[in-house]
Structure 1
Amino acid sequence: MRISTLQAFNNGVAGIQRNYSNATRTQEQISTGNRILTPADDPVASVRLLQLEQQQNVLSQYNSNLTAAKNSLTQEEVTLNSVNTVLQRVRELAVQAGNGALDPQDRKAIAAELGEREDELLSLMNTRNARGEYLFSGFQGKTQPFVRGADGSYSYQGDEGQRKLQVASSLNVPISDNGKSIFESVTNAGRLDSALATTPIGSTLRVSAPLVQDEVAFAAFPSGGVEVVFNNAPDERTYNVYEYGADTSTATPLATGRMDEDAGKPDKLVFAGVALQLDGTPAGGERAVVLPGKVNVDTATGTITTGPVANKQGILDTIASLRMALEDPSTDNGEVRDAVAVALTNLDHGMVSVDQARGNIGARLNVIETTQTDNEDVALVNKGVQAELRELDYAEALSRLSMQTVVLEAAQQSYVKIAGLSLFNVMR
């Protein structure tokens, strides 16, 4: 086979270019530290690297969400800690207000501090986060959750939503709590009312407002209420408890008790988790009713009606009710005692609700901490796999570059010699 001079030249140049390209590529791998410079170098590894980079980007977004969730929950926890501190002080003031030796001026002084604490709580419950959104308004981040009305009562303006952030492929963590579930859905210990339906001549009996002090035992309380019926003289201090509306002449009493002979010492009737204070001296034949809702007795006809009373009461409304009772100069010691008893129980329920919310936040913060650790571990493994797929074996690359350099030099020298071969040189 005959090879033309042009073909020989072209083959020589192509060989030099090919060997130069190989050496240059190896030098570029060494300078970058990467084995794969283009997808064509290793298609399978390139696809895997792309998947790992996408996973790394997702982990970075999860880490950002974890940081945002942690900041939000930490702020909420700090706010609830402050709320709990204020409630502890309010409870101390309520205990002081229950002292029967206080005069109206002393009660007004306590009511003044209660008013300040009430404003402080309102401010805490309307706390905003760094984005200017209200912490306790549910999904309505731009709506102020708690608003005070003209009559001094409070209303919740947010919703019952709970904002969440995705912190893992299948894990969403709540980063907020709505104010209704924490501060408004507090069991109302004063959801019952009492009144004397019958008051004989000469009777000084007084029945306090009922207090639900044991929620578990209250499950056995008749849904329609009860009535306390005192025996006629001479056994007028003995009473029986019947289900409201029952025929007391034939019905079996649900409970029986007797008032102490000391008229100055109040007696406490406890039935199905409900506590009732009995004061004064009965004349015999009195009938007191304890019913759900607000009890109204028509003294002319003896008709008993009930108005609505909420089973739940907000913490702010509890404090406001106690404050107004202390501010009213016409409130007697018995009414103050009832207001303090209800307030103390409702405050305890409110603090339990706040503590439960704080416990939930602590649990979420623990989840965030473990998820961050898991994400860091996954990211570390991810980077290790990427390194195995992408990074260069320097020892192998340097050895290969040395051989490619030798081959390139040999090709260049061969080309020079071949290029010098010509028939004209022989004919000279």
Structure 2
Amino acid sequence: MRISTSQMFASNIAGYQKGYSSIVKTQQDISSGVRIHTPADDPVGAARLLQLEQQQAQLGQYKGNLDTAKNNLLQEESVLTSMTNMLQRARELALSAGNGSYSDIDRDSVAAELDQIQQQLLSAMNSRDANGQYLFGGAKSSEIPFTQNPDGSYGYAGDQGSLDLQVSSSMRLSSNDSGWSVFENVANNARTQTQLTAAPAGGQKATMGQGVVGNSQSFSNYFQDGAPYVVELTSSKEYKVFSKADPSQALATGTIDPAKSTNNISFRGVDFSLGITGLSKDPNVSLDTQLAGHQFELTTASDKFSVSGQNASNAQLSGGQIVNSNAYTTQFPASGISVKFTSATEYQVYAQPVSESSKPMAQGVLSGSSLTYAGVQLQVGGTPQAGDQLSVSPKSQTTQGILDTLSNLSKALRTPVMGNESAQFKLNESLNLAVKNIDSAMANVASTQASIGARLNTIDTLAVENESLNMTNKATQSDLRDTDMAEASSKLILQQTMLEAAQASFARVSQLSLFDKL
């Protein structure tokens, strides 16, 4: 085969350029310290590097989420510690208010300090994180979670969720706790109520308190299912408890001491205070005649209602009394209702939440100063105007918010009791109940703090694991991408030698001619 001069030159030039490119590539690898500049340099290595870079970006995101969660939880823990101190002070005030030497004025002073604690707690419950988000709003962290309603009760506008962050490839972790779970979902120890249904001819001499749950399990398993019950004083020293549906069978019996102003009757997990007042000192009037025949009906506490909303007028709703249990159970929306006034006396009722497309479930005209819907009677204060709208939400007595507990205690302390044995009896029961509910609230806060501690430990563990994975990722990337200087230097010398040899060979070959053979 004949090889022309132009082919020879083209072939040598291509080889020379290839050798020179190899040298340039090796020099670039040495100067930059990186051997993979494009996928063509190492297709398999480039693909693996892309995976590692994606993993590194995820690890960076996990680290940021871990830092965010840790900061939020540390702030939440600090707020809860402060609130525990406030609740402890409120408990001390409740205990001190039971001092028999306190006057009505002294108790007013205690109530004033309790009001200050309420405001401090409200402010703490509406704390924000570094990004301006509410700590205790649940997943609705951009809206203020706790507000005080016009009727003095407190409302929760957040939800029951939490802000979950992805902190590893297989774990999401809550960076906050909802105000509902911490402050609203607190076991209420006042889940029963009593009513006098019969008294001796001489008049009422005994009073039964609403009851305080002492054993939640017994209450849930036994009391609720059989209610209502009746407590009857069979003499001045004995009582019996029977089912209202079956009076013939005594479910419990016991003794009382008429010399004591207050006796305790425990039944199926509930402690009822029995107050005895106004007994005649006439020796001719027996104690049996004055006490025997008292009957008290024991039932579970019915739902209460909170009202919220702002109006152009001064109209307000209050009360919230269940007048038809069956209608309330079957018709009243679980989420509550919204009452919209179309005039000073006419109104429409909507189910919450209300939207532009919502249609009224009912409409009516005020009966005096009250309105009734689905077995619930509400009192209307002020003069409504067209467009006024108020929301009414049911509140189960199974739980009671911390702020409502302190609000109820403050109201009880402001009720005068001097010289009124019946009022003093109610105050003592309110104080006892408040202490137990504050204890429940503190236990709830402590449980949340324990959960925060567990999550912080998890964050510390994940942070170490994340850092370890990040270091391993970087080392692997370095092995794949970085230049091996010893290998590259040797390779460069070899490439330079090969290029010099090719140049010398080309120079010799290019000078050959047919005439040299003649």
Structure with higher RCO (Cα < 8 A, 6+ apart): 1
TM-score, length-scaled by structure 2: 0.74
- The answer to whether the 8 A contact 1:292-1:309 is kept is no
Q: How does 1:135-150 map to 2 (within 5 A)?
A: 135-150=135-150
1:228 aligned residue (211, 218, 231): 231
1:353 aligned residue (435, 439, 444): 444
Q: Distance in 2 between matches of 1:203 and 1:70?
A: 60
Q: CA deviation at 1:366?
A: 2.1
Aligned to 2:369: none
Aligned to 1:273: 269
After TM superposition, the structure 1 stretch with the greater mean CA deviation from structure 2, 47-56 or 402-411, is: 402-411
Q: CA deviation at 1:330?
A: 4.7
1:312 aligned residue (394, 399, 405): 399
Label 1:330 to 1:309 Cα distance change in 2 as closer, same or farther (>3 A). farther
Label 1:236 to 1:3 Cα distance change in 2 as closer, same or farther (>3 A). closer
Q: The residue matched to 1:151 in structure 2 has which SS? A: coil
Label 1:305 to 1:257 Cα distance change in 2 as closer, same or farther (>3 A). farther
Q: How does 1:98-247 map to 2 (within 5 A)?
A: 98-200=98-200, 201=202, 204-218=205-219, 219-223=221-225, 224-231=227-234, 235-247=235-247
Which structure's CA Rg is the greater one?
1
After TM superposition, the structure 1 stretch with the greater mean CA deviation from structure 2, 418-427 or 376-385, is: 418-427
- 1:282-337 per-position Cα deviation (integer Å, ceiling 9, x unaligned): 52221122222269xxxxxxxx9999972221110100000011112257321210
Q: Distance in 2 between matches of 1:54 and 1:403?
A: 37
Label 1:309 to 1:41 Cα distance change in 2 as closer, same or farther (>3 A). closer
1:321 aligns with 2:397: no
Q: CA deviation at 1:113?
A: 0.6
Higher helix fraction (1 or 2): 1
Label 1:382 to 1:222 Cα distance change in 2 as closer, same or farther (>3 A). closer
Q: CA deviation at 1:77?
A: 1.7
Aligned to 1:373: 464
Q: Distance in 1 between matches of 2:224 and 2:474?
A: 67
Q: Distance in 1 between matches of 2:22 and 2:324?
A: 100
- The answer to whether the 8 A contact 2:166-2:172 is kept is yes
Q: Distance in 2 between matches of 1:415 and 1:111?
A: 106
2:254 aligned residue (254, 257, 280): 257
Aligned to 1:300: none
Aligned to 1:301: none
- The answer to whether the 8 A contact 2:266-2:272 is kept is yes
Aligned to 2:301: 293
- 1:39-79 per-position Cα deviation (integer Å, ceiling 9, x unaligned): 22221121111111111112211221222222222222222
Label 1:335 to 1:388 Cα distance change in 2 as closer, same or farther (>3 A). same
Label 1:163 to 1:355 Cα distance change in 2 as closer, same or farther (>3 A). same
Q: The residue matched to 2:216 in structure 1 has which SS? A: coil
Q: Distance in 1 between matches of 2:224 and 2:24?
A: 93
Q: CA deviation at 1:422?
A: 4.8
Q: The residue matched to 1:254 in structure 2 has which SS? A: strand
After TM superposition, the structure 1 stretch with the greater mean CA deviation from structure 2, 265-274 or 5-14, is: 5-14
Q: Distance in 2 between matches of 1:169 and 1:97?
A: 55
Q: CA deviation at 1:401?
A: 1.3
Q: CA deviation at 1:342?
A: 1.0
The share of aligned pairs that are identical, in percent, is 41
RMSD across aligned positions (CA): 2.6
2:252 maps to amino acid: A
After TM superposition, the structure 1 stretch with the greater mean CA deviation from structure 2, 20-29 or 201-210, is: 201-210
Q: Distance in 2 between matches of 1:392 and 1:222?
A: 77
Q: Distance in 2 between matches of 1:394 and 1:222?
A: 81
Q: CA deviation at 1:10?
A: 3.2
Aligned to 1:339: 430
- The answer to whether the 8 A contact 2:223-2:268 is kept is yes
Q: The residue matched to 1:379 in structure 2 has which SS? A: helix
Q: The residue matched to 2:139 in structure 1 has which SS? A: coil
- The answer to whether the 8 A contact 2:91-2:438 is kept is yes
> What 5-or-longer segments of structure 2 have no aligned partner?
280-286, 304-322, 326-375, 377-394
1:328 maps to amino acid: T
- The answer to whether the 8 A contact 1:236-1:285 is kept is no
Matched pairs, number: 412
Q: Distance in 2 between matches of 1:287 and 1:273?
A: 20
Q: Distance in 2 between matches of 1:309 and 1:334?
A: 25
Q: CA deviation at 1:423?
A: 6.5
Aligned to 2:87: 87
- The answer to whether the 8 A contact 1:222-1:243 is kept is no
> What 5-or-longer segments of structure 1 have no aligned partner?
296-303
Label 1:320 to 1:199 Cα distance change in 2 as closer, same or farther (>3 A). same
- The answer to whether the 8 A contact 1:227-1:287 is kept is yes
TM-score, length-scaled by structure 1: 0.89
Q: Distance in 2 between matches of 1:54 and 1:309?
A: 50
- The answer to whether the 8 A contact 1:138-1:179 is kept is yes
- The answer to whether the 8 A contact 2:230-2:242 is kept is yes
- 1:197-224 per-position Cα deviation (integer Å, ceiling 9, x unaligned): 2222165223223111221222322532
Q: CA deviation at 1:236?
A: 2.7
- 1:344-382 per-position Cα deviation (integer Å, ceiling 9, x unaligned): 111111111112222222222222222222222222222
Q: CA deviation at 1:104?
A: 0.6
Q: CA deviation at 1:116?
A: 0.3
Q: Distance in 2 between matches of 1:289 and 1:160?
A: 36
Q: The residue matched to 1:216 in structure 2 has which SS? A: helix
